[in-house]
Amino acid sequence: MIDGAETRSTTGQRSRRAKNFILRLRHTRLMKEVAIILLVMVIVFIGVIQFTSLETTLFYDGFEYYLPGSSPTPTWEFWFNTNGEITDTTFVSPSNCLLLLGSFPWSTEATRKFTSDSVLIGYEVYVRVEKVAQPYTAAVGFMKRVSQVTSRGYAFVWFRGDGEIISGENLLQTYVANRWYKIRVLFNRDERTYHVWVDDILVGPSIRDPNIDPYAIEDFTLSSEWAGVNCYFDDVRIFSQVSFETLLLKWAAYTGIALAIIGILDMALTRSDTGSVVPEPPPTI
């Protein structure tokens, strides 16, 4: 009777130990799965952050914080001519824009200083001209002033007097009076090439910039040219971008760190599993 009772007791203990071991094993495996899921979520979250921070706005001006009839100085500096003011007669985003009026032989240029050492920089701006006239109506682009009466343009887009939007020697598309056009440019300073979009359509891929000093850029410029036509500008944005190669390197670095953490955690939990194994008791005779 005693031997039978001892056998049942030993069998019960062994059963309880086996159940505990299975529960602990399931718990450990669950911890592994949860840890891996969390780390994958971290990788994805970091990736989302990287992609959303691909483009950084350096400055933006919709001209909303100025009174109609006023000058946007000192935020903007006028070069060569001072015939410009804030107006609410037309706009893209309510309810103001900048009006400039050049005249032969001096254009009116409103410039905004900025600094960036990024390889990729760009701009967006809406442009509207009141009339198509020779020789040029409007122009936008990066700039460096080289003397009291001259400046050097980079990645410039021109509204020519024959109704063509051009950049360098490249015809981009035609334009008409009294219509807003969205101009977007992305400039790779290391390669000295840039892309041009008009109304979000790529119309000028990989245009060569002739300047040998693209890192000398100091300003962004809005210009009403010699045609003596009212030119309107709105929603100006200057930005920098992270190159795709840099983004991939960052992504690889974060992924490598996360995978290393997963490996270390897996080893630690595996050792924990091994330590929790309950040896089988010797058979009862």
With 80 as the cut, is the pLDDT of residue 5 above it?
no
**Bridge partner list, 61:** 236
Q: Would you report the helix, strand and coil content of the chain in percent, each value rounded to 5?
A: 30, 35, 35
Average pLDDT score, the chain: 84
For residues 240-269, average pLDDT = 66
Q: How confident is the model at residue 278 (pLDDT cuts 50, 70, 90)?
A: very low
Higher-confidence residue: 33 or 72?
A: 72
For residues 220-227, average pLDDT = 97
Determine if the pTM surpasses 0.85: no
Write the pLDDT tens digit of every residue in 139-194. Answer: 999 999 998 888 999 999 999 999 999 999 999 999 999 999 999 999 999 999 99
Q: Which residues contact 62 (CB under 8 A, 6 or more apart)?
A: 92, 93, 96, 234, 235, 236
* % pLDDT > 70, the chain: 67
Q: Is 108 exposed, middle or buried (0-12, 13-18, 19+ CB in 10 A)?
A: buried
In the prediction, which pLDDT does 54 show?
A: 86
Write the pLDDT tens digit of every residue in 104-140. Answer: 999 999 999 999 999 999 999 999 999 999 999 999 9
DSSP code of 74? T
In the prediction, which pLDDT does 277 show?
A: 46
Chain centroid to Cα 66, Å, comes to: 27
